[in-house]
Structure 1
């Protein structure tokens, strides 16, 4: 193992490069013409331009990325998150060229990326799933018939969905008549896949996810759970570990159930199983699996001390996680705030532009994952997330207090950011009391 190409950009590319340096492995960056001044390009040992600023011309261009990997004589490719990270074709073509794909096998990725198939797979492994269709629904009439059994409200969801795309909430047959076609059209335009399935809508729940790592041979560990319930339009804002709403017995049950399911899959690498947790029922329901590293992997690292990127690389090259389940221990409480270049006062519109003043709040057990720097110009072509601020303390109350201190000290100007919005959330009474659900931001009218 001598050289790894990172098929990504931004903070996750920087994060991967730093771990590769610690492991004494050469790093290869790829970048679009709009990213030539990005930090990951400067930090990598080699860098190749793979196309124009649009993602379709660069970070989603499989041919260009693999050509760069061949030119660099890379041993492996790390996809990061987003872009091609959950694309079976990319993984398959990487391996066909004799390079290692740092992630699950293409067939596993395909199985778990199909949300309907993933439901069936998890259910067979003993994981609780939300009542819904057994597979794809092919007509409005079929949806209405199923709704008679599981009862309204229901969620119409895209099989290849993510980020709330291709998702509609129906409360009646009349809603289905209108929303079915909308969901199908959006799914087609977003994922080039208009297949849909349905689930019972659970209006009041928490979003709990389990971080897992498998060795591809039936061995698997979990790194406990994260609570990612504070969301806006299905996009996570604050993430924390562990989920203090759970009892010890609930934690033990869901983490071990998840670990066993991952082991049965012969899953390779890092992944996340996401659940809805209904506190009133003390029950979990499977939502989906993400077959990649998550944005919020940082909080799991902070409370377990395990470098998830390093574990991914070890599994890819050695089929060895490097740690056993009994060695994974929880310590303290960690919270991550996603910092986005967007304007909360203007419907959270993106706010690209040059940064003239930059200072991150610092302190003991404070971590900042970012690719921005003073003088950096944020391009308008990509996701608006520009940094992640992660804090750790002995308990949740102290972690929230520390997060407010760090956010209050941080300056990113003159662009608009969600710093003040995150500061407000971290001190909101409902957040402090741990009394909220996934609809909290909208039901509390925090966004007018």
Structure 2
């Protein structure tokens, strides 16, 4: 076993690796950017080295600086986590050339699986089923290849991942436009515009198999179902896959092991399959999509059902040990779910968000993988993941009930999150009975993203929190010995504004008038009694933002009367929803636009976001150029309504 390793990553995966290293007695070295200097992974590690900068290119993607840090600190090996340099074969070569061990597969294995077209050709030779399609190098006659395959087809970047460079095409007349868009996005994201074309599976499920190899032998640790996706991004993962038969599990597992052995795989990897579920799960209806030559974000669900610490296995195999267990020693116990909690504005189209985590409290009994603590900032420079919440139960129904409970009990204040969306998804009728496919979220998106309106009892609790009357000190806050004291506060829940009038009747006793209702409320320790009902609600407020946590998260703000302005002043103005880089400006002054037309593209948090016109009109002013860095709220384009 290694004495000391360096972790070339940040956030929750860096913290996750450190936890296993602590248990094994392995010393750890963290690396960090300037803005991550006080991050959780830095505090957890035994040593830390600054890489400088803020953006990934200035810090976590600097392979030479990372290798230098490993040598300087006496680390014997580098664990790449996932993302950043984890699947960069040139980095692997550089690590080994420096006399260090890369905790992961060989550079040759990464290269073999790195390009989807070459990987699929290799898999065909290894006897692994692949989706019908064109995976050749020639890129000049793709439309004809699509015609041969038959529509609908899927265009995919050969060097792709995360849904970038991917387009579904339903009709031949749309192919050229979608191809150009996919190639442009692939070039920007991966520096490679080449794509492949394959048959689009109409009722697809995304089922992946965890494999592990030591360079000589390989095993699989069963499957994960990752079908709950939005725009090809995984949302909730589970293991094992619902409806999986013993026959299909064996067939998929054997195919995944063949894939790993075909490249002499060492370390943790995932073989991803697309499954045609139009006729249930059948052993002749799964096809190889790609192999991720690293640990996956969703690996905790596999750990929960197998009892295996995959990071420990990575360390043992990389240090020269054989596979810790053979295939017949591995088994499945129970069921597990993982939900990815993000700072993102669901109502605004899942836009990544930033903010300070003024309040952070996770549910008891759930496994939490996180890289943040209360008070930490969600930065625009990195992925806005706050945590991964994983639950395990004796069966799927029990685990799913635990997932819902844990999501509803999670409290995050200071930024918008997708927790409400995740909780709604966990209670979706089809998902509850295991009827999942990759189109489920898109079909029911309107229902899943509905924001519950706060009742007057919720508003009353928000008013108490906004006035600072929910604390224990001073005990008689808001109460005068010679009589009840009244106060009022304006609150804003989304677009709705209410006024709460609060009379403090005694220590922890209030009468609140809001929305035409009057509530008698008593606070005792962490419980609230409203009328005759005692409820398990919690409140938080910091300055002008707060939240009531009561089954859902009801975020509110306290408007600043000095900061109010006329809606007319900003009518027709498109502003930056977050800090970012303006990639493309599509319009010019005087141009006519229709509602939904793209105005510009803003790049933020590793994703591109198209900003579109809210209504028909004429572009009156363009206040930004391509290449400009803008702050949140910056005016970008102003549109005037057409006369008449």
TM-score of the two chains, using structure 1 as the length reference: 0.97
- Contact 1:105–1:268 (CA under 8 A) maintained in structure 2: yes
**Does the aligned pair in 2 maintain the 1:304–1:331 contact within 8 Å?**
yes
Residue deviations 1:239-271 (CA, integer Å, cap 9, x gap):
000002211111111112211331232101000
Counterpart contact for 1:137–1:198, Cα < 8 Å = no
Instruction: Give the Cα–Cα distance (whole angstroms) in 2 for the partners of residues 147 and 356 of structure 1.
Output: 51
- SS, match of residue 268 in structure 2: strand
CA contact (8 A) 1:343 1:351 kept: yes
3-state DSSP of counterpart to 1:34: helix
**How far does residue 4 in structure 1 lie from its aligned partner after superposition?**
0.5
Match of 1:246 among 231, 241, 244: 244
Q: 8 Å contact 1:209–1:226 — kept in the other structure?
A: yes
| Equivalent residues in 2 for 1:378-397, closer than 5 Å | 378-397=378-397
Residue 174 of structure 1 and its aligned partner are, at CA, apart by 2.1
Are 1:235 and 2:236 counterparts?
no
Question: What is the alpha-carbon distance in structure 1 between the residues aligned to residue 430 and residue 266 of structure 2?
Answer: 38
User: What is the match of residue 423 of structure 1?
Assistant: 423
Partner of 2:412: 412
Q: Could you report, residue by residue, the CA deviation over 1:152-187 in whole angstroms, capped at 9, with x for unpaired residues?
A: 111111110011111122233322221222211111
- 1:319 deviates by 4.1
Aligned to 1:291: 293
Contact 1:51 1:64 in 2 (8 A): no
How far apart are residue 112 of structure 1 and its match? 0.2
- Matched with 1:311 is 313
Partner of 2:70: 69
Contact 2:345 2:353 in 1 (8 A): yes
Residue 584 of structure 2: aligned partner: none
Partners in 1 of 2:167 and 2:129 — Cα distance?
A: 22
- Report how far residue 132 of structure 1 moved: 0.7
Q: How does 1:20-59 map to 2 (within 5 A)?
A: 20-59=21-60
Measured in 2, the distance between the counterparts of 1:23 and 1:70 equals 22
Which residue does the alignment assign to 1:121? 122
* 1:153 match: 152
Paired with 1:143 and 1:319, the residues of 2 have a C-alpha distance of 46
How many residue pairs align between the two structures?
Answer: 443
Residue correspondence of structure 1 range 357-396 to structure 2 within 5 A: 357-363=359-365, 366-396=366-396
* Other-structure match for 2:258: 260
Greater shift in the superposed pair: 239-248 or 220-229: 239-248
Instruction: Give the Cα separation in 2 of the matches to 1:222 and 1:96.
Output: 31
> Structure 2 CA distance, aligned partners of 1:367 and 1:173?
47
Whole-Å separation in 2 of the counterparts to 1:325 and 1:279: 27
Q: Is the 8 A contact 1:35 1:379 kept in 2?
A: no
Aligned mates of 1:165, 1:109 — CA distance in 2? 19
Of 4-13 and 192-201, more deviation after overlay is shown by: 192-201
Q: Which consecutive unaligned segments of at least 5 residues does structure 2 have?
A: 450-644
Could you say if the C-alpha distance between residues 134 and 192 of structure 1 is closer, same or farther in structure 2, counting changes exceeding 3 Å? closer
State how far apart, in whole Å, the 2-side matches of 1:357 and 1:182 are.
41
Q: Distance in 1 between matches of 2:376 and 2:139?
A: 48
- The corresponding residue for 1:341 is 343
Question: How has the CA–CA distance of structure 1 residues 445 and 415 changed in structure 2, closer, same or farther, with 3 Å as cutoff?
Answer: closer
For 1:318, what is the secondary structure of its paired residue? Answer: coil
Contact 1:214 1:262 in 2 (8 A): yes
Q: Residue 146 of structure 1 aligns to a residue in which SS? A: helix
1:402 aligns with 402
Q: Deviations over 1:51-106 (max 9, x none)?
A: 21101000111122112112112100000001111011111100000000011100
Q: Deviations over 1:289-338 (max 9, x none)?
A: 00000000000000000000111111111141211111111000000000
Residue of structure 2 in register with 1:5 after alignment = 6
Please say which structure displays the higher CA radius of gyration: 2
Deviates more, 1:66-75 or 1:13-22: 66-75
Q: Which has the higher helix share?
A: 1
**Larger relative strand fraction:** 2
Which SS does the other structure have where 2:173 is aligned?
helix
Higher relative contact order (CA 8 A, sep 6+): 1
In structure 1, list runs of 5 or more residues that go unmatched: none
Deviation at 1:373, TM superposition (A): 1.2
Alignment correspondent of 2:171: 172
Q: Distance in 1 between matches of 2:159 and 2:321?
A: 29
Alpha-carbon distance in structure 2 between the residues aligned to 1:205 and 1:170: 15
Q: 2:49 aligns to what SS in structure 1? A: strand
Distance 1:439 1:257 in 2: 25
Residues in 1 aligned to 2:360 and 2:323: alpha-carbon distance in whole angstroms: 38
